[in-house]
Amino acid sequence: MRHAMILAAGRGSRLRPWTDTTPKPLIEVCGRPLIDWRLSALAQAGIGDVVINVAWLADQIRSYVADGARWGLRVRYSDEGEAALETGGGIANALPLLPADEPVLVCNADVWSDFPLARLATLDWPAGRLAHLVLVPPLPGMRADFDLVDGQVVDAAVPPWTFSGISLIHPALVAGRQARAFALAPCLRRAMAQSAVSGEVYDGVWSDIGTPERLAEVNHR
């Protein structure tokens, strides 16, 4: 598995006013833009090809990342126009740029984590699996999403884990869907009903840089 996708099209409204003029992936964390950390981690994991979906202030992201050569990567862009297509729609829109028959490492651009991505690059992938999710303990005030039972991601009345924004996604999960705005969660839940979503829990460094408070916390560690 040598292909990855960075989800970078969101407006980042909770980080306004900074994101009024700077796209969230270019917000600096510990002296470097968030997307710089993501690209470096992907390169270290042995990824060669990266697709970045863009919408809000897309030209700034294109200008900063360019073709990805300075990270040793080949970067291409899936442009969503003025309005982002959410996670599911963003992946569906990028399908022409992604391999059709193997999983893709998908990361949110605003994730701050030391999760070892190389572990996903070598994960066994049985026939019929559609996704593998990295789950984490929820941060204070954050909603939990799923449970994990015998390696399978499942729903629960009181779920203990949050989806980290790091995953392997097989293109078949959204194949056949129109490239319009739709969430990924309903697709995952349909696949979960077929026992087609595996997962793991990571208890290391992780944060979703979605609020000024989380940004400040990470910058002051």
Q: Name residue 219's amino acid.
A: N
Whole-model pTM: value is 0.93
* 133 in Cβ contact with 167 (< 8 Å): yes
Q: What is the pLDDT of residues 3-57, one digit of tens each?
A: 999 999 987 667 677 667 888 899 888 889 999 999 999 999 999 999 999 998 8
pLDDT(150) > 70: yes
Give the integer Cα–Cα distance in Å for 49 and 69.
Answer: 11
Architecture of the domain whose range is 3-219: Alpha-Beta Complex (3.90)
Q: What is the pLDDT of residues 121-134, one digit of tens each?
A: 889 899 899 999 99
Q: How far is CA 173 from each of CA 9, 123, 161, 184, rounded to the nearest angstrom?
A: 20, 18, 22, 9
In terms of phi and psi (left: phi > 0; alpha: psi -120 to 50; beta: otherwise), the region of 185 is alpha
Give me the pLDDT at residue 13, please. Answer: 64
Name the band, by pLDDT with cuts 50, 70 and 90, for residue 162: very high
Give the integer Cα–Cα distance in Å for 1 and 16.
Answer: 36
Relative to beta strand 3-7, strand 104-108 is: parallel
Give the integer Cα–Cα distance in Å for 197 and 191.
Answer: 6
Give me the pLDDT at residue 221, please. Answer: 65
What is the average per-residue pLDDT within 161-184? 91
| Torsions phi, psi for 34 (to 5 deg) | -50, -45
pLDDT(174) > 90: yes
Domain boundaries, the chain: 3-219
Give the integer Cα–Cα distance in Å for 218 and 4.
Answer: 25
More confident residue, 175 or 219: 175
pLDDT(165) > 90: yes
